[in-house]
Amino acid sequence: MGNEDPERPATQEPAGAHDQEHAQDYQVGYRRPPVETRFRPGASGNPRGRPKGLRSLAAVVAATLGERVVVTENGRRKHISKLQAAVKQLVNRAASGEARSIQLLLALVQASEAKPPPSDPVQQTEADAIVLAELRRRFEQSGL
């Protein structure tokens, strides 16, 4: 008595008999795969998952240049990025008179000066002023 399902009427046949009957009249076709080849409950159709994408060269270079290294400077150990270490070495070699390093450093300085300065994020454009005025009008109308 304890194993009976209160939702199932007593006259109904056992679940196994119904499954066999259902399997006999089951039509295999579009969006109806054979029962024996379906995914089992709890099993994924892609068990290893989607592979991680390849990182671009720019992402790899940026990550590598951002890594920290230990440098001894004036007898003290400092942690700086690899980019900072490379620029320090380039500047030191240029300062010692190495012609190729001087050319590279001057090209680097010119390239950095040629870039437009970053725009001021606080500077408000005409479109921003229109949007803010409309928001102010709506808040005043709603009574907030």
Q: What's the pLDDT band for 119 if we cut at 50, 70, 90?
A: low
What's the confidence (pLDDT) of residue 21? 61
pLDDT (0 to 100) of residue 3: 53
Q: Per the structure block, which two tokens stand in for 104?
A: 């590279």
Arithmetic mean of pLDDT over the chain:
82
Q: 99 is written with which tokens?
A: 């012609």
| 4 against 119, higher pLDDT | 119
Whether residue 93 contacts residue 86, with contact meaning beta carbons closer than 8 Å, is answered with no
57 sits in which H/E element: helix 57-66
8 Å CB contact between 71 and 77: yes
pTM over 0.85: no
Q: What is the pLDDT of residues 40-90, one digit of tens each?
A: 888 877 888 877 788 889 999 999 999 999 999 899 999 999 999 999 999
Which residues lie closer than 8 Å to 86 by C-beta, 6 or more apart? 65
Least trusted range by pLDDT, from 77-81, 94-98, 132-136 = 132-136
pLDDT at position 44 is: 76
Residues 6+ apart with CB under 8 A from 3: none
Instruction: Say how many residues make up the chain.
Output: 144
Q: What confidence score (pLDDT) does residue 80 get?
A: 95
**Numbers of helices and strands, H then E, in the chain:** 5, 2
pLDDT of 4 above 60 = no
∠52-55-60 over CA atoms, to 5°? 140
Q: φ and ψ at 142, to 5 degrees?
A: -80, -15
Percentage with pLDDT > 70 across the chain: 79
Residue bearing the bigger pLDDT, 144 or 71: 71
Rg of the chain, C-alpha, whole Å: 35
Cα 16 to Cα 23: distance, rounded to the nearest angstrom? 11
